[in-house]
Amino acid sequence: MSQNPELNQRQTAAEHTKLLFEWAAQACASPLPPVIRRRAATILADDIGAMVAGSVEPQVAQARQDFVNSSSPLQEATIFAPGAQTADRYTAASANGMSITWCELDEGFRNASCHGGAYTLPALLAEAQARNTNVEQVLRAVAVAYEVTTRFALAYPFGGFYVHPHAAFATLGAAVAVSLIRGHDARMLQDCVTGAASMTFAGPFDTAVEGSLVRNGWTAAGAWIGMRAADWAQAGIAGGIHTPYDVFATNFRTRCLPEQLTAGLGERWSVSNGYHKIFACCNYAHAAVEASLSLRSQLGSRTAQDIAEIRVEAGPAGLSLSTVEPATVLAAKFSMPHAVAATALRGTGGAASFLHDTLQEPAIADLRRRVTLAAFEGAGPPPLDRPARVTWTFHDGEQVSATVINPRGGADQPFDEPTLLSKLAENTASVLPAAPDWLARLIDGDPTVSSMGWREAMAALTQGARA
């Protein structure tokens, strides 16, 4: 063995990567454990809701029209948007990829900075409809693609917030998903994913904090690249087994934990460690939003207008959300001052606190400027890495505080299914009225739904779609 530690680590990473691909290619051949199947279906349903919610935003609608205008005449896959039009699979994947993260209502993975659903589902669902894959096979691919994608995020963690995970892992996740739906063997899966990994991009993390809307395009571009990486691999155009290491550990200067690629494969599933959102902002602000809502419930005879100052003690990631004057709705979703000020004044952490009109609302803008951030002493490892203590100081000098060590939504404090189904109905019913009931049946394992091909499934889900 070489005496060069980096070369040894590179080879070790390659060996674990190959084992991960071998496992993934086989895992789709067997039924999922019931609890994992239900989690995969819940993630699928929640993220379709996120796609629909984002689809009505004006920039998304314009981008969608541009996608459709330049697409082929094939009608292969559904765009989850008003009218539920169909397009070729690449167009549908890109359009759904543009909308899925727009409202910050998609789910995420708690143990690493990674949104496994957003990176896999736009391409996966488009490919499945084009091929008319069986519903249960789709759910297997959801769970396995999520697993592979999140394990790369675990194996190559960034040392700080400098590359956004939507840019780093979206191409890879889409390639995994498409390869699994196409039924590739381990070697072809390797060729697809390593090729896609070489086409990842260094989208700066601060793009989100600063509110540049191109950040929401990374999952659209990633879906297209991942699908094409699968096409090209089938033509013999692929990456190499060392490519992921070279991209992440060498080029991006991440850490490398190769054992994370294979430890407990088939025994622990990443879909079990996902989180869901009911607040329309970055998850690193959720504890502060929860604390703010708790304080709202204790106002008594006071009103939110009596607040003179807000102090937020947050974990390291929460402190990075420091923008005071967000220029776009995306910047507002990544602004701790905006999140706590708008929640305090509007009484909700939902979409109403992050709409365009909130950016210039005088009361919110004034209170944002009176928010200070400080470090939360004793923030722990995940899932205790996102705490917040919010202190309101009133004009008469009295103070009240609320602390949330661990925001709701993760596997340790999950939202119950009625809450998630209510969110799903809120996000989809006005556009796709049949979706809430159909997706609830999918989660429950209704045999009628489970026996469908994905084309029939999409026809049922989009029945009665409103323009």
Tokens of 103: 């409202």
For 241-252, what is each residue's pLDDT tens digit? Answer: 999 999 999 999
Phi, psi torsion values for 402, nearest 5 degrees: -140, 140
CA dist 19 and 56 (Å) reads 42
For 385-413, what is each residue's pLDDT tens digit? Answer: 899 999 999 999 999 999 999 999 988 89
What was the pLDDT predicted at 110? Answer: 87
The pLDDT of residue 120 is above 90: yes
Q: DSSP letter string over 319-380?
A: HT---SS-SSHHHHHT-HHHHHHHHHHHS-SSGGGSSTHHHH-HHHHHHHTTEEEEE-TT--
**To the nearest whole number, what is the mean pLDDT of the chain?**
96
Closest residue by Cα to residue 382 from 292, 300, 283:
283
Closest residue by Cα to residue 424 from 411, 407, 437, 409:
437
Domains with residue ranges and CATH for the chain: 5-275 (1.10.4100.10), 283-404 (3.30.1330.120)
pLDDT band at 380 (very low <50, low <70, confident <90, very high): confident
Percent of the chain with pLDDT over 90: 94
What was the pLDDT predicted at 2? Answer: 57
CA dist 298 and 392 (Å) reads 11
Closest residue by Cα to residue 382 from 316, 311, 289:
316
CA dist 84 and 296 (Å) reads 39
- Exposure of 456 by Cβ count < 10 A (0-12 exposed, 13-18 middle, 19+ buried)? middle
For 191-206, what is each residue's pLDDT tens digit? Answer: 999 999 999 999 999 9
The pLDDT of residue 1 is above 60: no
Tokens of 257: 């934990």
pTM for the model stands at 0.93
31, 63 in Cβ contact below 8 A?
A: no
Pairing of strands 307-314, 371-375: parallel
The CA–CA distances, whole Å, from 111 to 17, 31, 94, 108, 157 equal 19, 25, 27, 9, 10
Span 138-148, mean pLDDT? 98
Span 123-142, mean pLDDT? 98
- Exposure of 437 by Cβ count < 10 A (0-12 exposed, 13-18 middle, 19+ buried)? middle
What was the pLDDT predicted at 384? Answer: 86
